[in-house]
């Protein structure tokens, strides 16, 4: 019998079996997909949770990305939030909506990417729900384990702390600019837009090193640092020299007639982690200082100057 071509032909429960059977789970999964709810274990009784929604045409396009890449992206953007709290990702729940004529291979491809990305972070896909809709919508709820540490929030930065970053900045925005121009290369830049590579382990490492505040850079460096500064009631001053504009982005900017600094400062979706540390702290591997924490009311500045352009992405604007 030929494999069904659409999700309607496969049916709800056939589709569930197709995306959950013969998948590996981490040790933190005590009961995975198949019951009314999943059961997961944490080391100290506290669970860090976060959720994000990805909508076709807004957060991804299947003419730009493969289903596998979209699946990886859906998991990555959520697990980056868990890491930004200083927690270790443990599990994810998946809510999926799609039209009945969606090819079944699109959904199984999404699932392949989700399971692969979750496994790369040490987490499992433990359950979820599927419904019919007019377009593909993926909603992920992620869970994490603090492993005995206090959560690192946005509200703990203090004047005199140093500001550091771990991960890439500007690559996803550059990739988006390339795709909008109708190109598909350079592949390393375009793939940064198709699926991010958050430094999951850097979050817990920062917490262990004494990070005072932390945030996932999803909407643009300046915009997200503005959230951290507001929550902590401090100012932040960045060093343009310390931000290190990558040569590859300079090349792409030159080819497109664009300013690569805008990608680095305001482009989102790379999901790097930004954190503040006491001035005496030894930064964990992969972290580098990009600025300092100042007194309140000074805002977020670049080499002491206010940045007057748009600082990042915001829905409904």
For 261-292, the pLDDT digits (tens) are: 999 999 989 999 999 999 999 999 999 999 99
Residues 6+ apart with CB under 8 A from 76: 117, 195, 196, 197, 198, 271
Give the domain CATH number at 74. Answer: 3.30.1330.10
Separation between Cα atoms, residue 48 and residue 258, nearest integer Å: 39
Angle between helices 247-256 and 171-180 (to 10 degrees): 30
Q: Does residue 221 form part of some domain?
A: yes
Q: Does residue 209 form part of some domain?
A: yes
Per-residue confidence (pLDDT) for residue 42, from 0 to 100:
81
Which residues are known binding-site members for substrate? 59, 269, 313
Separation between Cα atoms, residue 219 and residue 265, nearest integer Å: 10
pLDDT interval class at 20 (50, 70, 90): confident
Mean of the per-residue pLDDT values for the chain? 91
Strands 288-294 and 305-306 turn out to be unpaired
Residue 4 pLDDT > 60: yes
Per-residue confidence (pLDDT) for residue 165, from 0 to 100:
98
Same domain, yes or no: 15 and 131: yes
Same domain, yes or no: 222 and 266: yes
Structure tokens at 86: 């200083």
Same domain, yes or no: 171 and 301: yes
Same domain, yes or no: 263 and 195: yes
Same domain, yes or no: 123 and 196: no
Per-residue confidence (pLDDT) for residue 314, from 0 to 100:
54
Give the domain CATH number at 252. Answer: 3.90.650.10
Structure confidence by residue, pLDDT tens digits, 141-158:
999 999 999 999 999 999
Structure confidence by residue, pLDDT tens digits, 182-191:
999 999 999 9
Same domain, yes or no: 216 and 141: no
Which residues are known binding-site members for Mg(2+)? 36, 50-52, 81, 129, 216, 219
Angle between helices 187-194 and 171-180 (to 10 degrees): 100
Residue 117 pLDDT > 80: yes
Per-residue confidence (pLDDT) for residue 29, from 0 to 100:
75
Residue 94 backbone phi and psi in degrees, to 5: -120, 125
Q: What is the DSSP letter of 4?
A: P
Q: Domains in the chain: how many in total?
A: 2
Same domain, yes or no: 89 and 191: no
Per-residue confidence (pLDDT) for residue 37, from 0 to 100:
57
* Domain that includes residue 222, residue range: 162-306
Least confident of 46-50, 93-97, 214-218: 46-50
Same domain, yes or no: 218 and 274: yes
Per-residue confidence (pLDDT) for residue 31, from 0 to 100:
74
Same domain, yes or no: 112 and 182: no
Strands 272-277 and 162-166 turn out to be antiparallel
Residue where a domain stops, chosen among 87, 115, 145: 145
Same domain, yes or no: 133 and 179: no
Name the more confident of 20 and 246.
246
Same domain, yes or no: 50 and 113: yes
Q: Does residue 291 form part of some domain?
A: yes
Which residues are known binding-site members for ATP? 128-129, 154, 218
Per-residue confidence (pLDDT) for residue 264, from 0 to 100:
96
Name the more confident of 127 and 2.
127
Per-residue confidence (pLDDT) for residue 229, from 0 to 100:
96
Q: Does residue 298 form part of some domain?
A: yes
Separation between Cα atoms, residue 29 and residue 26, nearest integer Å: 6
Contact 250, 314 (CB under 8 A): no
Q: Does residue 129 form part of some domain?
A: yes
Residue 110 pLDDT > 50: yes
CA 191 to chain centre: 14
Per-residue confidence (pLDDT) for residue 285, from 0 to 100:
97
Nearest to 14 by CA among 107, 136, 80: 107
Structure confidence by residue, pLDDT tens digits, 307-316:
867 766 555 4
Q: Cα 293–295–298 angle (5° rounding)?
A: 90
Q: Does residue 93 form part of some domain?
A: yes
Residue 38 backbone phi and psi in degrees, to 5: -95, 165
Q: CA dist 175 to 13, 132, 143, 315, Å?
A: 37, 31, 29, 20
Contact 241, 291 (CB under 8 A): no
Q: Does residue 104 form part of some domain?
A: yes
Same domain, yes or no: 265 and 172: yes
Residue 132 backbone phi and psi in degrees, to 5: -85, 145
Q: Does residue 65 form part of some domain?
A: yes
pTM value is 0.89
Share of the chain above pLDDT 90, in %: 79
Nearest to 142 by CA among 120, 162, 126, 159: 126
């Amino acid at each position: 019998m030929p494999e069904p071509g659409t999700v309607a032909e496969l049916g709800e429960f056939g589709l569930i079996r197709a995306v959950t059977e013969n998948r590996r789970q981490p040790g933190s999964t005590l009961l995975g997909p198949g019951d009314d709810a999943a059961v997961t274990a944490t080391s100290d009784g506290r669970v860090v949770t976060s959720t994000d929604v990805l909508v076709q045409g807004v957060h991804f396009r299947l003419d730009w990305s493969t289903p596998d890449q979209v699946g990886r992206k859906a998991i990555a953007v959520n697990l980056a939030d868990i890491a930004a709290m200083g927690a270790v990702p443990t599990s994810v729940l998946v809510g999926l909506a799609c039209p009945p004529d969606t090819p079944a291979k699109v959904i199984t491809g999404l699932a392949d990417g989700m399971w692969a990305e979750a496994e790369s972070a040490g987490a499992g896909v433990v359950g979820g729900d599927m419904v019919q809709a007019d377009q593909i919508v993926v909603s992920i709820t992620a869970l994490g384990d603090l492993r005995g540490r206090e959560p690192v929030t946005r509200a703990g930065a203090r004047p005199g702390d140093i500001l550091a970053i771990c991960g890439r900045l500007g690559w996803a925005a550059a990739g988006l600019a390339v795709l909008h121009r109708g190109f598909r290369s350079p592949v390393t830049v375009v793939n940064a837009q198709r699926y991010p590579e958050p430094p999951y382990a850097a979050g817990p490492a920062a917490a262990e090193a004494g990070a005072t505040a932390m945030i996932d850079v999803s909407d643009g460096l300046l915009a997200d640092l503005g959230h951290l500064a507001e929550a902590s009631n401090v100012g932040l001053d960045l060093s343009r020299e310390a931000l290190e504009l990558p040569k590859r982005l300079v090349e792409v900017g030159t080819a497109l007639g664009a300013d690569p600094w805008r990608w680095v400062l305001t482009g989102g979706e790379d999901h790097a982690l930004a954190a503040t540390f006491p001035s005496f702290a030894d930064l964990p591997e992969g972290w580098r200082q990009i600025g300092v924490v100042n007194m309140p009311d000074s805002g977020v500045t670049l080499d002491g100057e206010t940045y007057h352009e748009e600082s990042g992405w915001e829905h409904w604007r």
